[in-house]
Amino acid sequence: MIPVPSNEHLIMSHRDFQWFVTLLTGGVATWWVLVDTIRLRRALRADVRRGAVKDQIFGSIVGLVIGAIGIIGSYLGHP
């Protein structure tokens, strides 16, 4: 049987660690959404008939979806 570590040897409590990971994940996801929003706005101002611009638009939309999943997951998974 594996012994359970006591709280006196931990740097932070389990609940504090959960909040740390939740806030870190939510912060990174929010930053991701902001960056991709800026990139999408720039790409939409460019000539959308060019293939590279279409790729930028698609990539920004995928990034926004990933960021939204991160934000929603952080909200639903917080302690």
Total domain count, the chain: 1
Q: What is the pLDDT of residue 5?
A: 62
16 compared with 7, residue with greater pLDDT: 16
State yes or no: pLDDT of 9 exceeds 90. no
What is the sign, positive or negative, of the torsion defined by CA atoms of 40, 63, 32, 52? negative
The whole domain housing 55 covers 20-77
| Cα angle 63-20-73, degrees, rounded to a multiple of 5 | 40
Indicate the pTM of the whole model.
0.78
Structural domain includes residue 7: no
Q: For residue range 11-52, list pLDDT tens digits in order.
A: 888 888 899 999 999 999 999 999 999 999 999 999 988 999
The answer to whether position 72 is within a domain reads yes
pLDDT (average), residues 56-76: 95
Q: Residue 59: its pLDDT value, please?
A: 96
